[in-house]
A and B are shown apart, each in its own frame.
Chain A
Amino acid sequence: MGVARKHSNDRLQGTLDLLVLKTLASRGPMHGYGITQHIERLSNETLRLEEGSLYPALHRLTHAGSLQSEWGASENNRRARYYSITAAGRKQLAQEEASWGQLTEAVARVLRHA
């Protein structure tokens, strides 16, 4: 998967992907605004995304087959695009979670012992 590989070096991008995948895996279909709100709430407003940067990521993940999207009605009956995770997306999530774990563990170890 050339696209995923290309972006996996970009840690920040990879983090955003990871957060999006995780959010959708645990919460089911959501629209982009809902994803933003969810991430902000859970991180106690620590992770404040530049909200516009979410959408290229959502579309890229959709084309990579990790997400699928369809138009639906929002809570206040507006037309909104809803994203949900696919089987391939769950696999990617597992991988990224594992590598995130390794990374944070490695960083933590360095911080502890340095």
Chain B
Amino acid sequence: MAWTERLINVLRRSSLDAEIDAELQFHIEQRTRDNIEAGMPTDEARHDADLRFGGRLRAHEQTRDADVLVWLETIGQDVRYAVRNLRHSPAVTGVIVASLALAIGASTAMFSVVNAALLRALPYADSDRIVMLWTANLLNGSMEQNTSVPNMEDWKARARTFEDMAAYRVSQGPLIDRMQSGFDTEWIRYVTVTDNFFSLLGRSSAAGRVLTREDFSSGERVAVVTHSLWQRRFGGSADVIGKRVGLGGLDVEIVGVMPDGFWFPTKDVQLWMPATLDPAWQRNRDNRGTRFGIVFGRLVRGLTIEHARAELRGVAAQLRRQYPTENADLDVNLVPLHVQVLGRRVPFMLEMLFGAVLCVLLIACANVANLLLGRGVARRREIAVRAALGAGRRRIARQLLTESVLLSCAAGCLGLIAAPWSMGALIALAPPNIPRLDEARIDIPVLLFTLGLSVVTGVLFGLAPAVWMSRGGSEDLTRQTTRNSALGTSARMRGAFVVCQFAVALVLLAGAGLLIRSLLAVQSVDSGFGDLRVVMAHLRFNNALPRERRTGLYQGAMDRIRQLPGVRTVGAIGTMFWDGDGGKFGLRAVDGHADTPRDQWESLTWTTVSGDYFQALGVPLLRGRFFRDTDTRNAPPVVLINETMARRYWPGEDPIGHRIKGFDARGTNDEWVTVIGVVKDVHSRGLDRAPAAQIFEAQSQSLDETENLVVSAATSGLPETLRRAIREFDPTAVLSDVSTLDDRLVEQSAQRRFQTYLLTAFAVLALLLAAAGIFATMHYWVAQRTQEIGIRMALGAERRTVVAMVFRETLVLAVAGVGVGVVGALAATRTIASLLFGLTPHDPATFAAVSLGLTAIAIIACCIPAARAARVDPMLALKIE
């Protein structure tokens, strides 16, 4: 009976009982039949059969005990035997457990992150059926634009692939509690939602209620808040239900709190209220030309996103024909919710890193298999004796596997103990753009993963030695020749392990090398900013105030800051680090130029600045002039452009004085504006991306606000004085995200650093393990050949020749491993091409460096075995056997 069958027996006692019963019943009936055939009356025949059989119940129980107990007993025996064996060689056991614990611990930490970010379902009912529906612009390639309410309603009415669709609009404003003294005004993001928002997501509230259809028809001013807002601002008290808070210019009553862990669409959104309270909804309810917000829907069960995509494209085409004015060039872009939440770069990075850590684990496994094989040589005699005493091959293999699984489980436990720390380090190092990372913890899936991983690694590294050693068991103890040939097999096997380890290590090293060089290349890019110590802050005033009042407040705040001690220059900008959504734009007109064909459009941003924005950042003016106080609303509109813009439209010309039409200052989109100056390019989209063409207009001529302050100062304590000054200036103003420009730039490359550091750490780990592997292999190699070396020396071989022999053997293994590794790396690095900067995935310098480096490490690792070989005493060596 296979042990799996026995396990089933233990779990399903009833079927075991039935089997035993059937067997015993057969015996008694057979005896009864024979008795009858021998001439006994039926009653007597049955009685005799029972009598001869003895206590049937006892027989049954003893049989069953034999089934269950024997199995448990042999397992117990195997484990006891394994523990005894492992305690015999504490050094080997220690090395194995430590290296495996390292690899399993790293894998566990990495998995907990992958689990939180990629695997755990989003907190909505059947979240894989939720899809984002964006308006896409066929003209400029923008893929994620807002949608108008009438378009959303037409999609919803015509699409059969969706059960339901809802829309929301992200807003922000100051949260004010007038009843609570000392309540710091906080700037929060909130969304206004359509009436089916919560039913579509399929979640109910933790306290109070969610928004209902009646809230929308009645126009009640009600809101539902997140669990975290409830805890943070209202102390988690039950009387929050019914409380009224101010949000911008609106007073809303809190009617519900969502459960802990619920968020939508992003974690920073703190509050939901009916769209009917949103002025944008009231204005745009029936206007197909203006975009209200973002649409998402729930697919009909069983349908895929491809079905929906095909159908919605058709609907969008109908709408283009039906409403050519408003819907010209508009298409629809469907994105699964989980893709939207994670983005495209994070899953790829996490998968790459998870793959890398599993490679490290493989290398560790190969090391352990190697050590066990080495020890197996010493244990061959013991195993042969056990086999001679009647132990079956499978029993011996099982015994050896029990040992390796015991080792890996011990390592798994250690790895799990270390996991909270390694996980903490991982999270601390992680870039802020990994969503849901804060949810990473050691939970049931992570525990199961670690347990499974431990068992699988135990079997993986235990299998080869177990099969090899148990096969040896059936051989004759006394036959020296078979022993030597078996040793040859084990040496070849170990050589193969080393080659594999080197190959995998080289792949990781090549990847890490390419990422390191990319990171260095990115860091050496000149950001274009003159002074990285500039302090930046986000300043917002009550959005319920009229625009002119707010403009005045910004001017006042900047004047106030300018007078602070140590402050040199102050400026502000609408959007500083604009990333765009892939949209490409052209200008409406450029004087003296033909219109730019649409296929030549490029990314282009149009931003408003105020104060001494460029001077504060140290961005030099290359031509022309900065804005002046005379560039007012009544003066002719003027703009500054950056180098990229100048190069694109006026290559080899002076752009000063030329006029353009674009998104213009006064909102009519049909006014000529004059270029008055050219500023140097800055890498506002990240150091690894080419600067976009930029047009800057003055706040004094614009409708836009400039919320992002930049302050250049000679003092170090600026953030605190800044906060105090703003609080004194206007207690309801909210100043947030205070940091230096340097911090912002560092944050921009956080993901690149994270993936580089982590892959490098894994590669170094792989390198160390591979070095240990080749060291151990050569150590055994020398030990096995002590006699041969002795004979060679006795026959006159020099020590130099012996040392050369060791190095030659090492080099054969290392070069083979590096060769295989280079081939593998050429294929593997191509997949990370998108993570590289300024070099190809097959960068020859990197490949050469890691290949040479790895070979050098191999040579260093075998110095000790070589020295040992050189020290062999011919006389002693010959006496050994």
Interface residues of A (CB under 8 A from B): 1-3, 31-33, 36, 48, 50-53, 55-60, 62-65, 68-69, 74, 76, 78-81, 86-88, 91-92, 95
Give the shortest distance, in Å, between A57 (CB) and chain B (any CB): 8
CA distance A92 to B391 in the complex (A): 10
Give the shortest distance, in Å, between B351 (CB) and chain A (any CB): 45
CA distance A70 to B389 in the complex (A): 26
A87: which B residues are within 8 A, CB to CB?
392
Give the shortest distance, in Å, between A1 (CB) and chain B (any CB): 7
Which of A33, A36, A95 has the most chain B CB within a 10 Å cutoff? A33
B residues 362-393 in Cβ contact with A at 8 Å: 389-392
CA distance A3 to B30 in the complex (A): 31
B1 pairs with A86, CB closer than 8 A = no
A74 pairs with B30, CB closer than 8 A = yes
A51: which B residues are within 8 A, CB to CB?
27, 31, 52-54
- Write the B385-415 contact mask toward A (1 if CB under 8 angstroms, else 0): 0000111101100000000000000000000
B27: which A residues are within 8 A, CB to CB?
31-33, 36, 51, 55
B23 within 8 A of A: yes
Could you list 5 further interchain pairs (A-B, Cβ under 8 angstroms) beyond the known A51-B53, A57-B66, A60-B70? A51-B52, A56-B62, A56-B65, A59-B70, A65-B394
Which of B26, B53, B66, B70 has the most chain A CB within a 10 Å cutoff? B66
CA distance A55 to B74 in the complex (A): 19
B70 pairs with A79, CB closer than 8 A = no
CA distance A86 to B390 in the complex (A): 11
* A65 nearest in chain B by CB position: B392
* B394 nearest in chain A by CB position: A65
Give the shortest distance, in Å, between A31 (CB) and chain B (any CB): 7
Give the shortest distance, in Å, between B610 (CB) and chain A (any CB): 86
A74 pairs with B26, CB closer than 8 A = yes
- Can you report 22 residue pairs joining A to B where beta carbons are below 8 Å apart? A1-B389, A1-B391, A3-B74, A32-B23, A32-B26, A32-B27, A33-B31, A50-B53, A53-B54, A53-B59, A55-B59, A56-B62, A57-B66, A59-B70, A63-B67, A65-B391, A68-B1, A74-B26, A74-B30, A81-B19, A87-B392, A91-B390
A57: which B residues are within 8 A, CB to CB?
66
Within the complex, which residue of A2, A31, A33, A59 is in contact with B63, where a contact is CB–CB below 8 Å? Answer: A59
* A64 nearest in chain B by CB position: B70
| Known contacts A33-B27, A52-B24; is-contact A59 B392 (Cβ 8 Å) | no
B20 within 8 A of A: yes
CA distance A111 to B800 in the complex (A): 74
B880 within 8 A of A: no
* A90 nearest in chain B by CB position: B390
B652 within 8 A of A: no
B492 within 8 A of A: no
CA distance A95 to B389 in the complex (A): 9
Within the complex, which residue of B6, B24, B59, B390 is in contact with A88, where a contact is CB–CB below 8 Å? Answer: B390
A56 pairs with B63, CB closer than 8 A = yes
A81: which B residues are within 8 A, CB to CB?
19, 23, 26
Q: Which size bracket describes the interface of B in this complex? A: 35 or more
B66 pairs with A79, CB closer than 8 A = no
B6: which A residues are within 8 A, CB to CB?
63
B residues 69-89 in Cβ contact with A at 8 Å: 70-71, 73-74, 77
A92: which B residues are within 8 A, CB to CB?
390
B62: which A residues are within 8 A, CB to CB?
53, 55-56
A69: which B residues are within 8 A, CB to CB?
1
Give the shortest distance, in Å, between A27 (CB) and chain B (any CB): 17
B52: which A residues are within 8 A, CB to CB?
48, 50-51
B55 within 8 A of A: yes
CA distance A36 to B59 in the complex (A): 15
B91 within 8 A of A: no
- Write the B27-61 contact mask toward A (1 if CB under 8 angstroms, else 0): 10111010000000000000000001111101100
Give the shortest distance, in Å, between A14 (CB) and chain B (any CB): 15
CA distance A63 to B2 in the complex (A): 9
B58 pairs with A95, CB closer than 8 A = no
A52 pairs with B59, CB closer than 8 A = yes
CA distance A87 to B388 in the complex (A): 11
Give the shortest distance, in Å, between B200 (CB) and chain A (any CB): 57
Give the shortest distance, in Å, between B64 (CB) and chain A (any CB): 8
B residues 208-235 in Cβ contact with A at 8 Å: none
CA distance A25 to B67 in the complex (A): 22
B74 pairs with A52, CB closer than 8 A = no
B54: which A residues are within 8 A, CB to CB?
50-53
* B27 nearest in chain A by CB position: A33
B394: which A residues are within 8 A, CB to CB?
65
B23 pairs with A55, CB closer than 8 A = yes
* A60 nearest in chain B by CB position: B66
A33 pairs with B67, CB closer than 8 A = no
B26: which A residues are within 8 A, CB to CB?
31-33, 74, 78-81
B20: which A residues are within 8 A, CB to CB?
55
A32: which B residues are within 8 A, CB to CB?
23, 26-27
B22 within 8 A of A: yes
Give the shortest distance, in Å, between B21 (CB) and chain A (any CB): 11
B74 pairs with A95, CB closer than 8 A = no
Within the complex, which residue of A2, A62, A86, A88 is in contact with B73, where a contact is CB–CB below 8 Å? Answer: A2
Give the shortest distance, in Å, between B55 (CB) and chain A (any CB): 6
A65 pairs with B395, CB closer than 8 A = yes
A3: which B residues are within 8 A, CB to CB?
70, 73-74
Give the shortest distance, in Å, between A36 (CB) and chain B (any CB): 7
CA distance A105 to B67 in the complex (A): 35
B391: which A residues are within 8 A, CB to CB?
1, 65, 88
B59: which A residues are within 8 A, CB to CB?
52-53, 55-56
B63 pairs with A55, CB closer than 8 A = yes
B392 pairs with A56, CB closer than 8 A = no
Give the shortest distance, in Å, between A78 (CB) and chain B (any CB): 6
CA distance A79 to B29 in the complex (A): 12
CA distance A78 to B33 in the complex (A): 12
B71: which A residues are within 8 A, CB to CB?
63
Give the shortest distance, in Å, between B203 (CB) and chain A (any CB): 53
* B29 nearest in chain A by CB position: A78
A88 pairs with B392, CB closer than 8 A = yes
B63: which A residues are within 8 A, CB to CB?
55-56, 58-59
A95: which B residues are within 8 A, CB to CB?
390
Give the shortest distance, in Å, between A46 (CB) and chain B (any CB): 15
| Known contacts A55-B59, A55-B62, A95-B390; is-contact A63 B22 (Cβ 8 Å) | no
CA distance A63 to B1 in the complex (A): 7
B residues 740-761 in Cβ contact with A at 8 Å: none
A76: which B residues are within 8 A, CB to CB?
33
CA distance A67 to B23 in the complex (A): 16
Considering the complex of A and B, which 5 residue pairs feature the smallest CB-CB distances, nearest first?
A: A52-B59, A56-B62, A63-B70, A59-B66, A52-B54
Which of B58, B65, B70, B390 has the most chain A CB within a 10 Å cutoff? B390
